[in-house]
Structure 1
Amino acid sequence: MSAKETALIARSAHPITTEHLRHDMQALGLRNGETVILHCALSKLGWVSGGARSIIEAVLQILGPDGTLVMPAQSGDLSDPASWQNPPVPRAWWPQIRQSTPPFDPRLTPTYGIGRVPELFRLWPETQRSFHPTCSFSACGPLADIILKEQPLDDPFGESSPLARLYEIDARVLMLGVGFQSCTALHLAERRVWPQARRLADGSPMIVNGERVWVEYSLPETEIAPFAPIEEVLRNERKLSEHKAGSGNAMLASCRDVIDTAVTHWRSNRA
C-alpha cells in the first residue's frame, strides 16, 4: 500500500461505497435518463471501496439505460514533443518520438494525466470514443453516437465538437471532488468568446489510408486560468447544485448554464 493511500485511509472516517456515492449524487439532483459529462478527483472523495469502478457504477446506476455518461479521454502524450513542458524532452529525441510512437487508436491509446476514473471508463463495456488523437471524449449510453460523431482535428472543442452536442441537448456537468478549473465544457465557451485565438502548431501519429503517418495540424490556444471563477459566478446566480460526495464535495449544473454564464462573464470583463 502506498504512502498516499495510507494517508487517504487516515483521513477517512469509513469506506465510501457505491451505495454512499449513489445516495449523495441523488441528493445532489442527478436523475435517471440524464446525459452527464463527469469530472472526478477520486482521492478527494475519501477512501472509496472499489476505487474508480465504484464511481462509474454509482453514476451509471442512477442514469439507468436511458442515460448517457461522457468523460474527457485526452491523450496529450500523442502531441508533438516539441511542445512538451511537463517534462520537456531533449530536442534530439523529437524525430525518433515522432517516428516511433504508436498511432492513435480509440481502443488501444490510453488516456494521459487525467486520472484513473476516465481511464477505466474508456475501457468500460459499450463505451465509445471520439476520433481525436489528443482531445477525445468517451461516452456510454443511447446518445453516445450523436455526441461523439464529429470532432475536427483542428478544432476539437468548437461548434462541431462533442461539447457542442452536449450543449445542444443540455447535458449536465457533474464535478466530483474537483472545481470548475477542470471543467472541460468551458473550452466551448472559450471558442465562442475568443474565436480568433492564437493557434499553436501540433502533430500526432495517426492511421491515414491504412498507413501510420505523422499528421501536422494546429489547435486554438487554450487558457484555463479564467475557468475557476466561473464556479462562484454560477453559485451567486443560483445555477449550481452542491452536496457532499463521500468525504468530498460535488457540484451539478446545466451544461448550457455553465457555458452561457462563462460567455457572458468573460465578454463583460475582457479589456
Structure 2
Amino acid sequence: MTEQAVIERVETPVTADDIAADLRALGVDPGETLIVHSSMSALGWVAGQQQAVVEGLQRAVTEKGTLVVPTHSPQFSDSANWSNPPVPDAWVEEMPERMPPFRPAATPSRGVGAVPECFRTYPDAVRSRHPEYSFAAWGADAEAVVADHSYDNGLGEGSPLAEVYDRAGRVLLLGVGHSVNTSLHLAEYRADFEKGRVCHRAPVVEDGERVVVEYADIVTETADFEDAGAAFESEVGVAVGTVGAGDVKLLDQRELVDFAAEWFEARR
C-alpha cells in the first residue's frame, strides 16, 4: 500500500491518544497482559508512525499492565531451510560460524512489522534470548514474561507465549488476521497429533562469550491458522472494533489456545 493510499484511509491523522481511546472502547483494560500483532498501514496515516502506535498501546494498558510483541529474527534460523531466496548448499554448514551472535538489545527483528521493531528499542522494554523466536515485553511483568526463554520448542512451553497464557492474557490483532497470531503456535505444541522435528544451530552470547547453541523444534504450519481463528470467532467469540481505519480484534488467549489445540487434533 502506498503512503498516499494510507493517507486517504483517514479524514485526520491518527494519534497516540486516538489509538489508546479506540483500544479502551474495544475493551482493553489498564493493568492487563496483552500480546499484540499489528499492521501499520491498516490503521491509516498515523502521526508519528510506529512510535505513536507503541505509545498508544502503552497508554491503554498503563505501566501496571504488560505488553508483549513478537520480535522474531528468522535470519538466525537454519539456513538449510531458507527459500526466499535459498543460499548455496556449500554455505549452510558454516553459516552459524560466519554470523555474529544474536544480541537481544541489538539484533533487528525481521518479518514482524514496524511496530515490534520500534517497540523492542523502547526504554524499559526487554527482549527474550531466543535467537529465532524472541519476544519483547514492556510493563509490570515484562522481565518475568521473557526470562529464560527455552531454546528448544521456542513457541511452546518455556516461551513467552506460555507466560502470557499463565497470566490469563489476551491477544490483540491490530489490523491483521490469525495467520500471524503466534498464540496458535502454542496450541500446535499442546495439540496431540504427529509432528515433525527440525534441529537448528545459532550463535548467541552466554556469560559474555560467543557460543553456538543447538536446539530442536516442531515443524510449525500456518496454512490453517485463519480457519482455526475463524472457527474460534464463530464458536467462542471475540470483541471487534476499529483503531484508526483498521479493523481490530481482542480475544482471550487461554480460550484460543485451548480451543485451537482441540481443533488441530481433529484436523491435522
Scaled by the length of structure 2, what TM-score is found?
Answer: 0.93
The aligned residue for residue 170 of structure 2 is: 172
Count residues in correspondence: 268
Q: Which amino acid aligns with 1:66?
A: K
Q: Which amino acid aligns with 1:188?
A: L
Is this contact kept in 1: 2:192–2:265, CA < 8 A? no
Identity of aligned residues (%): 39
The aligned residue for residue 237 of structure 1 is: 235
Q: CA deviation at 1:219?
A: 1.5
Distance in 1 (alpha carbons) for counterparts of 2:235 and 2:173: 18
The aligned residue for residue 124 of structure 2 is: 126
The CA RMSD over aligned residues, in Å, is: 1.8
Shift in CA distance, 213/166, structure 1 to aligned 2, threshold 3 Å: same
The aligned residue for residue 50 of structure 2 is: 52
Which of the numbers 101, 104, 109 marks the counterpart of 1:103? 101
Higher mean alpha-carbon deviation, 62-71 vs 146-155, is at 146-155
The aligned residue for residue 10 of structure 2 is: 12
Q: CA deviation at 1:235?
A: 2.2
Is this contact kept in 1: 2:120–2:127, CA < 8 A? yes
Higher mean alpha-carbon deviation, 3-12 vs 252-261, is at 3-12
Is this contact kept in 1: 2:36–2:171, CA < 8 A? yes
The aligned residue for residue 247 of structure 2 is: 249
Q: Deviations over 1:20-55 (max 9, x none)?
A: 212211111001111100000111111111111111
Is this contact kept in 2: 1:32–1:62, CA < 8 A? yes
The aligned residue for residue 182 of structure 1 is: 180
Distance in 2 (alpha carbons) for counterparts of 1:80 and 1:265: 29
Is this contact kept in 1: 2:21–2:60, CA < 8 A? no
User: 2:125 aligned with 1:135, yes or no?
Assistant: no
Q: Which amino acid aligns with 2:36?
A: L
Distance in 2 (alpha carbons) for counterparts of 1:142 and 1:18: 21
Q: CA deviation at 1:194?
A: 4.2
Q: CA deviation at 1:96?
A: 5.6
Is this contact kept in 1: 2:193–2:265, CA < 8 A? no
The aligned residue for residue 84 of structure 1 is: 82
Scaled by the length of structure 1, what TM-score is found?
Answer: 0.92
The aligned residue for residue 39 of structure 2 is: 41
Which of the numbers 110, 113, 120 marks the counterpart of 2:111? 113
* Contiguous gaps of at least 5 residues in structure 2: none
Distance in 2 (alpha carbons) for counterparts of 1:49 and 1:210: 40
Distance in 2 (alpha carbons) for counterparts of 1:35 and 1:231: 20
Q: CA deviation at 1:182?
A: 0.7
The residue matched to 2:261 in structure 1 has which SS?
A: helix
The residue matched to 1:70 in structure 2 has which SS?
A: strand
* Contiguous gaps of at least 5 residues in structure 1: none
User: 2:67 aligned with 1:69, yes or no?
Assistant: yes
Q: CA deviation at 1:208?
A: 4.2
User: 2:21 aligned with 1:29, yes or no?
Assistant: no
Is this contact kept in 2: 1:127–1:138, CA < 8 A? yes
Q: Which amino acid aligns with 1:197?
A: K
Higher mean alpha-carbon deviation, 126-135 vs 233-242, is at 233-242
Distance in 1 (alpha carbons) for counterparts of 2:215 and 2:172: 31
Q: Deviations over 1:133-183 (max 9, x none)?
A: 110111111111221122211111222221111111110100100011110
Is this contact kept in 2: 1:150–1:162, CA < 8 A? no
**Segments of 4+ in structure 1 off by > 4 A?**
none
